[in-house]
Amino acid sequence: MTHEAVIPASSRKVSAATQAFLEAPQGLRIGSDTDREGSTGTTFDSIDPTTERTLGTIASGSTRDVEDAVAAATKALSAPAWGPASPATRARYLFDLADAVTAHREQLAELETLDMGKPIAQARDDVDGVAAVFRYYGGWPTKLEGSINPVRQPYFGMTQLEPLGVCGAITPWNFPLVMASHKIGPALAAGNTLVLKPAEVSSYSTLLLTDLARGVGLPPGVLNVIPGSGRVVGQAIVDHPDVAKISFTGSTPVGRAILEAGSRHMKKVNVELGGKSANIVFPDADVRAAARGSAEAMWENAGQICVAPTRMFVHEDVYDELVDELARVTGALRIGDPLNPETEVGPLVSKAQYASVREYIDIAGAEGARLRVGGRALDGPGYFVEPTIFTEVHNDMRIAREEVFGPVLTVLRFRTEEEAVALANDSAYDLAAAVWTRDVSRALRMGKALHAGTVWVNTHGRLDPAQSFGGYSKSGNSRELGRESVLSYTRSKAVMIDLSA
């Protein structure tokens, strides 16, 4: 593993546009305002996790600001350029936003990389994915059809789809832009308006995205963004009586609290939560491909991915071969400044995350897991932790059960298919799973047997806007992307007409 010394902040080069964006104090995006101060006048600093220096200052929202944003979003619902506008008009906004995202690819990627430490090549991929999500949802406004129903005579029955109204969105820090697009795309395609709160530690890219939406003519109040604390801004969005739906992505404990609060207000609440994904390698797999594919999926974003394949189950016949290859690939990773296009692993997002991951590494050692690769938290500046592999792990160890949300992989051994399924399903989280096998029948059996919202075969972590994504049980109650997501931002209304009248 090579760790390039972190370049001093003064010599890190970003575009003039990114520099200017960071130097300007960033305000709330409410209605037509792009730089509104929060009503309390408070701000927070965003810290670059690579250098531990302040990147810039962002206005912090309050309950009062949420009220203003919801009022702006409510007004926009009936604005001629939005509510009554044709579906083709909504489609045009989304297509134009996709083009604007592509045109600002570098600036969005730089902000993401500086703000949360994601290697720039991965940030660029994220931006491309965001444009694809907006293009996909741009196709939906003109296809949201109702139905004529086979009701008894002499009646005519039909069902039509309506937007829900003002929706609230709360996003996590690990994929700020991608998560925002998963909510903005379907919400706007269905004709809603949105009040969105990004995570405190990575708000910048969502603010620029909102400016791009304004730039393509999205009417004021359709998309409002209020940075700030979860307990203040997030809670105020959840509690606001005029917000019809909450779409939350984040940790399981916060998601549970939001579900409880939302149900008190009879809101629709969709939660996308934590994961501890199983990754099973059968003896008939292409072992090198399995090792490389798993490493790529595991170390992306320094392991800070809800679907990261953190629990690897390897058949005893290929265990040594697979672990050797995995250790070799992992040991060759380049850790360093995420702005360097050669970097494969950047820092963790924050000091708190760094401390939490270090603690889990200590816990794994104390539980008796065997350290195979990595294990060191690197000296600062920057919140760097080496990609770390533990072998000889048992499924009842904390390291195998709790979401670490960092670059820590556990490898377990199995003998039979039944044992692999039982181990994989013995988890509180059911977000995703992967299987590596050349046997089609086995792949199909696994697709049925594994408790997970997504099962990948001979690949990992691939999302597509056309395919829904989400978890079971403690990993969530909903689906993002695809048809399911856009429908979740609508409600149906039945109309019945007496034809004999």
Alpha-carbon distances, residue 128 vs 94, 119, 464 (angstroms): 14, 15, 12
Residue in the block written with tokens 């730039």? 215
- Distance between CA 202 and CA 172 in Å, rounded? 8
User: Do you find a cis peptide bond into 154, omega within 30 degrees of 0?
Assistant: yes
Residues 290 and 274: their CA atoms lie apart, in Å, by 24
Given a contact cutoff of 8 angstroms between Cβ atoms, the answer to whether 202 and 225 are in contact is no
Residues that bind ligand NAD (CB under 6 A): 170-175, 197, 199-200, 230-231, 234-235, 238, 249-251, 254, 257-258, 272-275, 306, 403, 405, 431, 471, 476
Nearer to ligand NAD, 155 or 472 (CB): 472
Q: What is the smallest separation between the CB atom of 428 and ligand NAD, expressed in angstroms? A: 12
Minimum distance of ligand NAD from residue 486's CB (angstroms) = 17
Pairing of strands 408-414, 388-391: parallel
Report residue 318 as tokens. 């290929």
The neighbouring-strand residues paired with 370 are 391
For residue 346, the tally of other CB atoms under 10 A from its CB is: 28
Amino acid at 282: F
Q: How far apart are CA 170 and CA 177, in angstroms?
A: 12
Helix, strand or coil, per DSSP, at residue 353: helix
Cis peptide before 84 (omega within 30 of 0): no
For the CB of residue 276, give the shortest distance to ligand NAD in the complex, in Å. 9
Residue 167 is among the residues annotated as catalytic for this protein: no
Selected catalytic residue, list 272, 300, 325, 403: 272
**Helix/strand/coil for 382:** coil
Residue type, 43: T
**Smallest gap from residue 251 Cβ to ligand NAD (A):** 3
Smallest gap from residue 69 Cβ to ligand NAD (A): 15
Nearer to ligand NAD, 173 or 436 (CB): 173
Residue 487 burial (CB count, 10 A): 16
Residue whose CB is less far from ligand NAD, 117 or 471: 471
Q: What residues contact residue 243 under an 8 Å CB cut-off, 6+ apart?
A: 70, 166, 167, 168, 195, 237, 267
Q: Are 255 and 269 in contact (CB under 8 A)?
A: no
* Pick 259 or 397: Cβ nearer ligand NAD: 259
Q: Please report how close the Cβ of residue 129 comes to ligand NAD at its closest, in angstroms.
A: 13
What is the number of other CB atoms lying within 10 angstroms of the CB of residue 316?
11
DSSP for 31-67, written as a single string: TTEEEEPPTT--EEEEEPTTT--EEEEEE---HHHHH
Burial 213-228 (b: 16+ CB within 10 A, else e): bbebebbbbbbbbbbb
For the chain, the straight-line distance linking the first and the last C-alpha, in angstroms and rounded, comes to: 80
Which of 446/452 has CB closer to ligand NAD? 452
Q: How far is the CB of 175 from ligand NAD (least distance, A)?
A: 6
Q: How many residues does the chain have?
A: 501
What's the one-letter identity of residue 116?
M
CB of 305 to ligand NAD, least distance (A): 7
Catalytic residue among 112, 300, 306, 386: 306
Closer residue to ligand NAD (CB): 51 or 310: 310
| Residue 45: strand pairing partners | 57
Shortest reach from residue 252's CB to ligand NAD, in Å: 6
Select 94 or 238, whichever has its Cβ closest to ligand NAD: 238
Rounded CA separation 390/362 (Å): 11
Query: Which residues belong to the active site?
Result: 272, 306
